[in-house]
Amino acid sequence: MEQERGVGVTGYSPEAELPAEQPAEQPRVAALGGGQGLSASLSALRRLTTELTAVVTVADDGGSSGRLRSELGVLPPGDLRKALAALCGDDDWGRTWSEVIQQRFSSNGALHGHAVGNLLIVALWEKLGDPVAALDWVGRLLNVQGRVLPMSAVPLDIEALVRGHDPARPCDITAVRGQASVAVTPGTVQSIKLLPELPPAVPEAVAAVRAADWVVLGPGSWFTSVLPHLLVPELAKALSDTRARRLLTLNLAPQPGETEGFTPQRHLEVIADHAPGLAVDAILVDERAVTGGAFGVADLSGLEKAAARMGAALVLDQVAADDGTPRHDPELLAAAYDRIFRTHGRIGPWR
């Protein structure tokens, strides 16, 4: 069995650097996800292209986002804010605004825990009455590289079926509702659905997926950030119909609660279970994570077969930070994305 290492013929080289100059024609990329996982992907992708659209899940019901959603009936702004922060430039303007919108109030009053960016986004939503236009305005203020869109214009809830949610009844299946609860649930998540079911997609998000050269899904919380996009019918159809190539980025470790005890292969099986018709072109996996890292020593043969069942090539590379945390290094991840984009081209099937 042979997996691709770093995609190139000579394999991964830790000395490899990004090209000094970007190609004249930049790839159009749609990145799907939410939370810290999407932020990691965006931080890498913005090093490669300005033709970048983030399509963000809108099911968060915890923290500042949950409070604003409950009080005002708005979309949860937190994951959208994080995506905007990740796309801020590296100049003084970008760094300052990135820090400002991420800043949280600390007090004994009602503002405690609210992020400045959440309030700014919600204020523009109320002012303009259009979630997409408001996010575009925030993007212009921050001078972001790319665009941030919600995957749906209505707030969503996630309901998971969990085996062993009650430790005293390990075989029972329990319905657990709410992103914040699903993310930390005891037991094993079997499947999820969105409420309301069959939610409408934001048209601009659908258009971005259809117009892309590459669609990048993951990394991120598997059940609450990655999978929800596949359960929005118009987005799912766009993912199926698009001429773009599809790249799935695997996490660096199981997530306590949500994917506790999951193998890398199980992560892929969950995707296939929820979107059986989804074809993927490449699956990017951190080599160290599956050869004695957070996943232990993975069954690489089984992982490659699971990838092949999705129509994908398994790409092993080094994309994790060197500090021992399950965190993607933006430079390494950008270099891995760049190798995949360049090696396999941009448009049309290659599997």
Question: Over its length of 351 residues, how does the chain's per-residue pLDDT go in tens digits?
Answer: 444 444 332 233 333 444 444 444 799 999 999 999 999 999 999 999 999 999 999 999 999 999 999 999 999 999 999 999 999 988 999 999 999 999 999 999 999 999 999 999 999 999 999 999 999 999 999 999 999 999 999 999 999 999 999 989 999 999 999 999 999 999 999 999 999 999 999 999 999 999 999 999 999 999 999 999 999 999 999 999 999 999 999 999 998 888 988 999 999 999 999 999 899 999 999 999 998 888 888 788 889 999 999 999 999 999 999 887 889 999 999 999 999 998 876 444 433
pLDDT value of position 34:
96
**One domain for residues 252 and 286:** yes
Q: How many CA atoms lie within 13 A of 77 on its CB side?
A: 32
pLDDT value of position 171:
92
**One domain for residues 351 and 262:** yes
CATH number at residue 253: 3.40.50
Which is nearest to 293 in space by CA: 330, 341, 328? Answer: 328
CB of 289 closer than 8 Å to CB of 327 = no
90/213 Cα distance (integer angstroms): 25
* Phi, psi values for residue 122, rounded to 5°: -65, -40
**One domain for residues 210 and 191:** no
223/225 Cα distance (integer angstroms): 6
* Phi, psi values for residue 161, rounded to 5°: -95, 120
**One domain for residues 124 and 270:** no
**One domain for residues 235 and 318:** yes
DSSP characters over 268-292: HHHHHHH-TT---SEEEEETGGGEE
Q: Which pTM was predicted?
A: 0.91
Q: Provide the 3-class DSSP secondary structure of residue 36.
A: helix
**One domain for residues 202 and 348:** yes
Please state, in angstroms and as integers, the Cα–Cα distance from residue 33 to each residue in 98, 124, 313, 329, following that order.
19, 23, 21, 17
**One domain for residues 228 and 329:** yes
Domain count of the fold of the chain: 3
**One domain for residues 117 and 224:** no
pLDDT value of position 16:
41
Range of the domain at 188: 157-195
**One domain for residues 109 and 214:** no
**One domain for residues 63 and 144:** yes
The domain boundary, picked from 195, 222, 251, lies at: 195
**One domain for residues 221 and 351:** yes
pLDDT value of position 100:
96
